[in-house]
Structure 1
């Protein structure tokens, strides 16, 4: 149930709730605002609320709502920048009141209220994210395939035949047919069997440049880190360089390249030029929604065009049951009669079936309620606006309408990011909060509410979770291309977020830009934004009221920030060439709440930035900023994140609103020492704390005393998440003697140095959930000590001198979900799993060094087949040509493939090899 205040901004209500809250306290000192406030409340309560949350109410209502939202934005912009009010402001206030009255008149004149919802059936679900009983629920990391066996088998036959000439196999079909899923399954199958010398899987989509795609292919086929070109040559010259390099590398090799989601014939022609026909049996697999592109690829007699077809009723039900949270035996009686009608609307389209399953909820009661709601909604959607070829649009419209109002805004906000790449959860949630999209809920922080929204979108199958080896929970998400297209369409209708392509094209939008994302990473397109005369003035005019600007690419293309005085969010993550130029102007953005410098080359923050009164989030990760300005006023900072940040005691005292502080330096020149220890328990809102230990001299009594006091205070705190990074090995004994905060939901410990062995006392650290440890040897009792940690979900273990480590069912590890294991020992089998070991392990990362792979065949057996819940294996072989031949690495990879193939859960395998003989672009 949604409690507390309404969100400051939401899809259907614009920013009117925020504006009402801002004007209310002004009335005491400025009575002239009283009538304006009354007019706004009346407009909201009598008219806007009548349409909020309703289903399709007609184009006239949508246009009216958008006009009202723009009016409210303009009033809020004026209020936000007012330092004080005077009698002369009455003119402006009267003008605003006239605009409000005109909006009311238009609503009456066009009789729009007749189109407002009149019954409960027309009011969408609006209570907030649904509760998940007993546990947090996410989609599996591994996609379930249904009805794909035949096309997969047929396509594999085409790709694995003995033909020596290059063959192109093209899959085409409507969006939502799961072409990408099928292509990934085929790619993984061929990967596991190791039939090609080099391989690559790239997604093109709408936003990837040809240059970026070619660099990614080169990186994957060479198994190297390939940096972006930084030469002064033109974009075309750079592309030609990469094509030459790629063609030269591939022309003597049998390769397999998968190019996913091709939308441009021009991009396709350039990419194909880099892939030689070398008569070695090479293969190219492509996916596209466009039949003409698929046909254009079929240039040789043996090339194949494969058209995806809809699932039949049997496969549709099978996929539906696999994706539904409620087991078939728990279905309510009436649902047995409803599911056929529901699946008929999906038209055999896999993505439509998956999203529908997410819509129907997670309990039997929800299934009953949601299925009835769906059946009532379906007839209203089956009209001329939905051709038979668009079942996906029907389902997305219904799912979107069912979202709570604030969640609609959060969902739409995904269009602020590129549709081709992972969106990091913490970056997304922090921007939601800064934009005012997250309502207050009693007992929850804004972060917790935002995180629940993120989980809700995953559980509704509207976004897909993204995982890495550092956490058991999703660290981000991806958005299916069809869903992204839908969101862009909705966002465009409401002028919610302006696609950066519209500004770069020179075809400027007719409406004011409120939120925009500009990717100027490619020379060819970024020239459009080069500051120049009238064109630059036109861009700045359109951006003059922008509230949110995300920018990446060449810093020289950033619009004049000093002119964007209404900015609330400025995200410059991964902008190159920013350094410290132009940062002073950011200090004049008085309304700024979110400032992201992640991945930039910024080294110093000017003092005006720390004086920004509204700033709540400052992201300095992956930068060289190590200190804040010495002069620091009281701030509203809620989230301050960096890699290594030295904070003075006086600065810490001025950050009384902090909820997240990570990572702050402790020791050496970053000494907060007793000051941090004393404040860790006094900063009441603080829920996430990351500490990095540096230059600690464990033999010094004063420093040991500092750590002792810090651990004592942490034990009394209300922290929910704690990271101790680079924790000094000699001080491990201190940690073992203190039980840390019982409220901890996440305790991550990374120990500096290499332990001679795992102390059995480690088992007393029951709060640990994430552990990164380097050990010389691991004996049987040590394995059991680690396995007995009751909350351990992620373990990163580097082993140096032990010939092997064996894990059995009696060793525990009952909660472990992620294991990252690296063996540096010269010989031996590294790690071995016996039957019953690690029953919940889902993701396994193995890093092996050249000498490990020289083991005899019998020793080179990890027992991967004994891990019943495994869904993903990522194995990396580190080697040098001086110590290992390429053929020996090939043999090691073959052994790993064979072992993974014996696991009945059919986990996804990713193999990499790292060579020290590198060439970087």
Structure 2
């Protein structure tokens, strides 16, 4: 049976369109244009506001009213959505770059623009009239919802629950409490179980509750989500507590005022001594309103389940708690769950591709199993087709109604349409693909999906959006940087499948191979593995007929604002020429590189080119709106024309860049850059005797991040490039701005020339300092290359919070100068030998992360009282045996993670794990694998190792110590994340923020 389920995805036209209309309206008024045109522009703005408002209202109503809207309303909504996109198209074709204070189109174009606005206005009027002629009855979908709800709810078998249940029991600490002979009274402990919706949180909590409830004086299981107000929640709690002790009278409870309920419950719990309570699916506001009623000295236990990391942290901080993070089922247990549901129907019906698509999600696996049990998928081809069309079946089949509702609630529950749109946008990447966080955010900004809310910047709002999605366990951090933010991420697999199909239904995203692609906002080509292993490549959710892939008019203009190609695009490689309004062109993972004509796409803001692009296409220097040019995938150094460096909106230039000074007159371009350069990230440039970038860098006033490479074989000392580089770096170091809000990073990969360069920089910097100049405002400094002494100017960098020294091989006495850097949050040392390096009490008072990479097993000595705020300790030494003699982890009260080299012997790992369990915060022990850099001028990099996972069953877990607020922002959003996944469980990184390239 299939049901008609309307798409919940109806993205509002980006707020950037409304802002363009505002700018256009102001220009029209200033230039005293025809009053009718001004009125028409104002009318368009109001219509877009109303369309966006109606979309938001519809989604909010879905949270309380399960009935889908009527067919008339759906058709009207689709028409309004298309009109909104046509308005956006009109604006993009005619409106100049308002950021530069441009003028309205020429008189000829203006007439065309006015005519187009008039046509749009007439279409809007006709749409409103048409909607009024038909009955708009939202009750029309009531019968459909009844039939959907009538589908039997699929119970989730408790496959492999024993081990995670035992782990939660250990966290509850009941046995340790019984064995404790001390005089301290037993304390309350709150254990939050956190994870993505449908991941088995309730199943696990119920298993623990059923086995423990009888051991407590009173107990209660409360489904918190059922109660709207605090009074209802507390009344239900008191009712269940009284019933558990037989104290409930036949008349039942009379609802009382909040204060009376709070007082009654607190008194009752104190009289009954020990209690055990489970709050299933609690919200933060509910917890904040009730947490004060629970006595903390009774040795009682509370379990809460939630999908919000923030809520889990808030709950665990009340009492001596820990956060239990759900993990996805591995492949073996995923198949076991399918078998448990399928029973006699199971043989051969669950290929590994189905397991991968379900991403270890129990509810998804049960839903798929129920579908397979009623369908006859006897052949390999049929199973392949089902795998490819899983999103379609999730949208249409009644068997998936429960899963569909869970995922719909997660989506609709996101606060605001911009955040929902940011989530939908992630579906342009293949399911399971790691996404670079910075690239994703830059794309959001380029698309106009993030708008600042004064006084906050677009970047701050985008960072908050990403944090919100990870906090809700929808987006998983994979690898992490040293600032506590994820470096890479991916969407939850089953959510991706659901969102992609919904987005395709609403023309938000579709495959480039879709013959109906002309009206979609975002196009992708995803090279996906054939579900049955034949190696063919088919984009998910699209047609399988090869002839259909080439259908359609190749001259027809496409609406697309972004094109993302992962894999070989084939005959579609150059179709971006049809996308005249393209803002984002991502060819980073493209297997073929025919990109002639890119210079004609004047709206491009984000361009990423892959390693197959041998040279830059002509015309890049004409892309006036370009904000990001990413060339990091290129296998060779890239010579960039000066015209690209001069682009007024270019903020991020990434790759190994060269600009040859023989090709132009430098002084002219220096003057231009001083006036208009917006370049913030230059990461980075390759230095040689022909490079013009050292001279140009000094005139880039907005620079925040700079990387500089110099080959070990290049001799620059004494030359002009050397002098220009010294001057530019010295200026960059000293010309910091507001250090409270801006980060400034400098990375130098100078090989065997670094010692002389830093010696010269020392002299220049200290000379300026003696004249009363600034101390310097770098927040991050990374040095790679042989040093004979510690640079003196580094100690004067008053805002330095991150320092990485790689292959410097400084002596222990020179390294002792590091203790002067009292504001360091992160320190990484990559040395051959650190014997004799001593960190005394009081050193590094703000340090949160310490990473030591050495060959010799002689590690530094860290005295008790040093680095009291340390959260992450990475001791990456392959020859280490047992514990380190000079490092006692019990001295670090806030420690959350210990990382070891993956090549260390298993006995050492076991010793560290045993020691970590005795630590009050129970830090996790991770194994990291060293990645050999592509060249000798790069710093060492570590990633999560392939570690044999324990046979934990369903669901797996990670145990995280609850952190106090004193741990700060560095890890506040990271320590409580688990990173599940059936095939990636052993490689995903906890987003602890202190792992990666230094």
Aligned to 1:187: none
Within the alignment, does 1:317 sit opposite 2:279 as a pair? Answer: yes
Aligned to 1:561: 576
Aligned to 1:799: 831
Instruction: Output one character per residue of 1:723-766: Cα deviation in whole Å (capped at 9) or x when no partner.
Output: 23225222334346367998988632222322345467743333
For the Cα contact (< 8 Å) 1:843–1:872, is it kept in 2? Answer: yes
For the Cα contact (< 8 Å) 1:415–1:484, is it kept in 2? Answer: yes
Q: How big is the shift at 1:803?
A: 3.1
SS at match of 2:876: strand
Within the alignment, does 1:589 sit opposite 2:601 as a pair? Answer: yes
Residues 912/179 of structure 1: CA separation in 2 closer, same or farther (3 Å cut): farther
Within the alignment, does 1:840 sit opposite 2:869 as a pair? Answer: yes
Within the alignment, does 1:829 sit opposite 2:858 as a pair? Answer: yes
After superposition, the CA RMSD in angstroms is 5.0
For the Cα contact (< 8 Å) 1:554–1:575, is it kept in 2? Answer: yes
Q: How does 1:507-586 map to 2 (within 5 A)?
A: 512-520=519-527, 522=529, 523-526=535-538, 535-538=549-552, 544-556=558-570, 558-559=572-573, 560-578=575-593, 582-586=594-598
For 1:101 and 1:362, how far apart are their aligned partners in 2? 56
Q: How does 1:742-757 map to 2 (within 5 A)?
A: 747-756=779-788
For 1:894 and 1:360, how far apart are their aligned partners in 2? 31
Q: How big is the shift at 1:437?
A: 1.1
Residues 906/652 of structure 1: CA separation in 2 closer, same or farther (3 Å cut): farther
Aligned pair partner of 2:47 in 43, 47, 50: 43
Aligned pair partner of 2:617 in 587, 596, 606: 606
Q: How does 1:847-866 map to 2 (within 5 A)?
A: 847-849=876-878, 852-853=879-880, 862-866=887-891
For 1:899 and 1:361, how far apart are their aligned partners in 2? 22
Within the alignment, does 1:12 sit opposite 2:27 as a pair? Answer: no
Aligned pair partner of 1:414 in 426, 436, 439: 426
Within the alignment, does 1:426 sit opposite 2:388 as a pair? Answer: no
For 2:677 and 2:794, how far apart are their aligned partners in 1? 34
For 1:658 and 1:525, how far apart are their aligned partners in 2? 41
Aligned pair partner of 1:176 in 192, 199, 217: 199
For the Cα contact (< 8 Å) 2:883–2:912, is it kept in 1? Answer: no
For the Cα contact (< 8 Å) 1:530–1:557, is it kept in 2? Answer: no
Deviates more, 1:652-661 or 1:389-398: 389-398
For the Cα contact (< 8 Å) 1:591–1:614, is it kept in 2? Answer: yes
For 1:831 and 1:806, how far apart are their aligned partners in 2? 6
Q: How big is the shift at 1:107?
A: 4.4
Residues 482/746 of structure 1: CA separation in 2 closer, same or farther (3 Å cut): farther
For the Cα contact (< 8 Å) 1:795–1:819, is it kept in 2? Answer: yes
SS at match of 1:517: strand
Q: How big is the shift at 1:864?
A: 4.0
For 2:596 and 2:46, how far apart are their aligned partners in 1? 42
Within the alignment, does 1:770 sit opposite 2:802 as a pair? Answer: yes
For 1:713 and 1:590, how far apart are their aligned partners in 2? 32
For the Cα contact (< 8 Å) 1:792–1:816, is it kept in 2? Answer: yes
Aligned to 2:745: 722
Structure of higher CA gyration radius: 2
For the Cα contact (< 8 Å) 2:802–2:827, is it kept in 1? Answer: yes
Instruction: Output one character per residue of 1:621-670: Cα deviation in whole Å (capped at 9) or x when no partner.
Output: 23234221355595243323223212354666656242423224374246
For 1:19 and 1:586, how far apart are their aligned partners in 2? 24
Q: How does 1:492-507 map to 2 (within 5 A)?
A: 492=504, 494-498=506-510, 500=511
Aligned pair partner of 2:678 in 658, 666, 675: 658
Deviates more, 1:614-623 or 1:777-786: 777-786
For 2:931 and 2:448, how far apart are their aligned partners in 1? 47
SS at match of 2:803: strand
Aligned pair partner of 2:125 in 101, 105, 111: 101
For the Cα contact (< 8 Å) 1:674–1:709, is it kept in 2? Answer: yes
For 1:874 and 1:43, how far apart are their aligned partners in 2? 55
Unaligned runs of 5+ in 2: 1-8, 63-67, 95-104, 140-160, 171-194, 206-274, 295-302, 319-397, 530-534, 933-998
Q: TM-score, normalised by structure 2?
A: 0.57
For 1:86 and 1:430, how far apart are their aligned partners in 2? 32
Instruction: Output one character per residue of 1:57-99: Cα deviation in whole Å (capped at 9) or x when no partner.
Output: 7625555334222112223324433574276777655432221
Q: How big is the shift at 1:425?
A: 1.7
Residues 616/764 of structure 1: CA separation in 2 closer, same or farther (3 Å cut): closer
Q: How big is the shift at 1:432?
A: 0.7
Aligned to 1:872: 897
Q: How big is the shift at 1:426?
A: 0.8
Aligned to 1:85: 109
Aligned to 1:911: 927
For 1:555 and 1:181, how far apart are their aligned partners in 2? 45
For 1:673 and 1:785, how far apart are their aligned partners in 2? 32
For 1:713 and 1:911, how far apart are their aligned partners in 2? 37
Deviates more, 1:899-908 or 1:418-427: 899-908
SS at match of 2:626: coil
Q: How big is the shift at 1:546?
A: 1.6
Residues 741/336 of structure 1: CA separation in 2 closer, same or farther (3 Å cut): farther
Deviates more, 1:532-541 or 1:513-522: 532-541
For 2:877 and 2:483, how far apart are their aligned partners in 1? 21
Q: How big is the shift at 1:795?
A: 1.7
For 2:681 and 2:484, how far apart are their aligned partners in 1? 22
SS at match of 1:840: coil
For the Cα contact (< 8 Å) 1:469–1:845, is it kept in 2? Answer: no
For 1:355 and 1:540, how far apart are their aligned partners in 2? 49
Instruction: Output one character per residue of 1:823-867: Cα deviation in whole Å (capped at 9) or x when no partner.
Output: 133xx4223444444333333333324xx34x6x68677534543
Instruction: Output one character per residue of 1:335-391: Cα deviation in whole Å (capped at 9) or x when no partner.
Output: 979xxxxxxxxxx9945465876999999xxxxxxxxxxxxxxxxxxxx99988888
Residues 418/789 of structure 1: CA separation in 2 closer, same or farther (3 Å cut): farther
For the Cα contact (< 8 Å) 1:628–1:646, is it kept in 2? Answer: yes
Residues 550/651 of structure 1: CA separation in 2 closer, same or farther (3 Å cut): farther
SS at match of 2:799: coil
Residues 176/429 of structure 1: CA separation in 2 closer, same or farther (3 Å cut): same
Unaligned runs of 5+ in 1: 1-8, 116-145, 156-171, 183-312, 338-347, 364-383, 879-887, 917-921
Q: How big is the shift at 1:558?
A: 4.0
Instruction: Output one character per residue of 1:496-554: Cα deviation in whole Å (capped at 9) or x when no partner.
Output: 333x4xx66x6x66982211332125450249999976531339689822221111112
Residues 386/458 of structure 1: CA separation in 2 closer, same or farther (3 Å cut): same
Q: How big is the shift at 1:608?
A: 0.8
For 1:520 and 1:18, how far apart are their aligned partners in 2? 36
Residues 841/555 of structure 1: CA separation in 2 closer, same or farther (3 Å cut): farther
Q: How big is the shift at 1:807?
A: 3.4
Aligned to 1:819: 850
Q: How big is the shift at 1:435?
A: 0.4
Instruction: Output one character per residue of 1:227-263: Cα deviation in whole Å (capped at 9) or x when no partner.
Output: xxxxxxxxxxxxxxxxxxxxxxxxxxxxxxxxxxxxx
For 2:52 and 2:450, how far apart are their aligned partners in 1? 20
Residues 46/532 of structure 1: CA separation in 2 closer, same or farther (3 Å cut): closer
For the Cα contact (< 8 Å) 1:729–1:752, is it kept in 2? Answer: no
Residues 744/621 of structure 1: CA separation in 2 closer, same or farther (3 Å cut): farther
For the Cα contact (< 8 Å) 2:479–2:487, is it kept in 1? Answer: yes
SS at match of 2:734: helix
For 2:931 and 2:456, how far apart are their aligned partners in 1? 48
Instruction: Output one character per residue of 1:399-429: Cα deviation in whole Å (capped at 9) or x when no partner.
Output: 22xx134333223323333442443221111
Instruction: Output one character per residue of 1:432-484: Cα deviation in whole Å (capped at 9) or x when no partner.
Output: 11101122444554323322332344455554444435443332444334554
Q: How does 1:882-901 map to 2 (within 5 A)?
A: 889-891=905-907, 893=909, 897=913, 900=916
Q: TM-score, normalised by structure 1?
A: 0.61
For the Cα contact (< 8 Å) 1:754–1:773, is it kept in 2? Answer: no
Q: How big is the shift at 1:605?
A: 0.9
